[in-house]
């Protein structure tokens, strides 16, 4: 996946890109992307986004299988970045060689509108989720206010702040 390809696809659609360290990893599955599953339909219904993309430095077969296994088919487009081209081009990488994972995408959420990055939330430590989760994007887009929701109850989410889910 090249930067040019991504630029073309997101040029005219409000797009949320979620960068994860890897498919089938506990934090990416349980604490990061899982937060977005009930939120993406809300973001689309309120027209905050038209598409949601999840990218990781893995092969396309693994990312596709992972997306299916978490119930993300039809909600989140899985874009594999097997050689880290996209992650390197935007400068959001994580060297996790010490953990046996090599060079990976950093953990982030990015909102693109009109081909321009409007919001970018990058985790300083890619092994945790603090600023790249669904709760902050919902707040940044004003979705809670527009729908008179609280950050504690969104769709079918559990009655706890998303930022504290582990």
pLDDT (tens, 9 = 90+) of the chain, 166 residues, equals 556 667 777 778 899 999 999 999 888 998 899 999 999 999 999 899 999 999 999 999 999 999 999 999 999 999 999 999 999 999 999 998 888 888 899 999 999 998 889 999 999 998 899 999 999 999 898 887 677 666 544 444 443 333 333 3
How many other CB atoms sit within 10 Å of the CB of residue 52?
21
Rounded CA-CA distance 49/40 in Å is 8
Given the residues 16, 28, 56, 78, the one annotated as active site: 28
Asked about 28 being catalytic, the answer comes back as yes
* Global confidence as pTM: 0.84
């Amino acid at each position: 996946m090249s930067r040019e390809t991504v630029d073309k696809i997101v040029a005219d659609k409000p797009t949320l890109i979620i960068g994860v360290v890897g498919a089938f990893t506990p934090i990416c599955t349980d604490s990061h992307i899982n937060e977005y599953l009930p939120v993406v339909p809300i973001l689309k219904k309120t027209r905050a986004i038209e598409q949601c993309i999840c990218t990781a430095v893995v092969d396309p077969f693994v990312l596709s299988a992972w997306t299916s296994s978490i119930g993300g088919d039809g909600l989140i487009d899985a874009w594999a970045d097997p050689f880290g081209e996209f992650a390197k081009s935007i400068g959001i990488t994580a060297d996790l060689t010490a953990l046996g994972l090599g060079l990976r995408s950093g953990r982030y959420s990015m909102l693109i509108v009109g081909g321009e990055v409007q919001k970018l939330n990058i985790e300083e430590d890619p092994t945790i989720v603090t600023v790249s989760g669904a709760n902050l994007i919902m707040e940044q887009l004003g979705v809670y206010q527009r729908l008179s929701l609280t950050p504690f109850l969104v769709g079918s989410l559990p009655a706890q702040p998303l930022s504290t889910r582990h």
